[in-house]
Amino acid sequence: MRAFEYASPTTREQAVKLLGDDWNDAQVLAGGTDLLALMKDDVVAPKRLVNIKDIADLRGISFNPKAGLRIGATASIQQLIDNADARRHFPALIEAAEGITSPQIRSLGTAAGDLCQRPRCWYYRAGYGLLGQDASGKSLVVDGDNRYHAILGNSGPAYFVNPSSLAPALIAYGTKIQLFGPKGAREVAAEKFFATPASASDREQNLKPNEIVTEIIVPLPPAGSRSATYEVRQKEALDWPLAAASVVLEMKGNEVKSAKIVMGHVAPVPWVAEAAGQALTGKAITEETASAAGEAGVRGAKGLSRNGYKIQLAKVAVKRAVLQAARGGAK
């Protein structure tokens, strides 16, 4: 690991002054479960780390029936899992958090850190840049080992999948993310927080080098709504899913009034499957309608040389998330 400066501000204003205009100037340190590994592998080498764990107003989780659930940027995954209000009102979010099975990462990893973690693409982690390209700019992914890469939104040059566990559920609930920078606070919809980079110098989050995430606001879904997250993974031990889906259903009697379905680990951004939601609207939830939603969710999917199997897994994730939501989701 290369030498770096270390700063530990106690206010958000101090924190952003310590950040720079370039990602290499400084980076935010919260749980550190991703950033420190990247530094040890010499994938990133910031000149300064800005620890935000001593900023009191970035901590904690609270609930208000009108405002919804407030998750502080440095609240841990375990604090989210243990929060009674989150469990009662946001089952899809709890199921997503519980998919992070490592006790160490649950204790250290933060809610904002989960959203801001970098791609788990092994080309990126091996030092070939965000887009996994060789020195000539040719993608190593297309003709290489792409078993875990994108099946949607993969027309290039980005082929990695968004690694966030919480993002699909947060987007399905209509979450807002609060940011703070030199010009003050700004708010961005969770769906717009993520972006597909067009070049290796782009970032995959709508976040500037001198900004920090301060809190995550999850509005209370309409009364009678049902929600769930379902993940397809190789093993129960710590690993990232092969495909996931989060579903929020607004019901009118036994029929779906509206549905928001967001897929994870299948595209460079959490993938909002509008066609899947439309496939359920006005219908009762059955095995057949849930299967139809799964089929609609992967419409337009394109497998690479070694990841075509993920298309079927994505269908299954959507179908089972819909059926799980109809049964009431997490308890």
Sign of CA dihedral 189, 191, 194, 199: negative
- Cα separation values, 106 from 33, 119, 180, 238, Å: 10, 19, 25, 11
Interval 111-155: pLDDT, tens: 999 999 999 999 999 999 999 999 999 999 999 999 999 999 999
Give the residue from 131, 132, 141 showing the smallest Cα distance to 307: 141
One-letter amino acid of 174: G
Query: What is the architecture of the domain spanning 56-116+163-218?
Result: 2-Layer Sandwich (3.30)
Distance separating alpha carbons of residues 120 and 111, to the nearest angstrom: 17
Q: Does pTM top 0.95 for this prediction?
A: yes
**287-297 vs 309-326: helix crossing angle, rounded to 10:** 140
Check residue 329 and give its pLDDT: 57
Which parts of the chain sit beneath pLDDT 50? 330-331
Please provide residue 52's backbone torsions phi and psi, each rounded to the nearest 5 degrees.
Answer: -105, 10
Interval 212-232: pLDDT, tens: 999 999 999 999 999 999 999
Fold of 5-54: 3.30.43
Q: Where are the domains of the chain?
A: 5-54, 56-116+163-218
Check residue 237 and give its pLDDT: 84
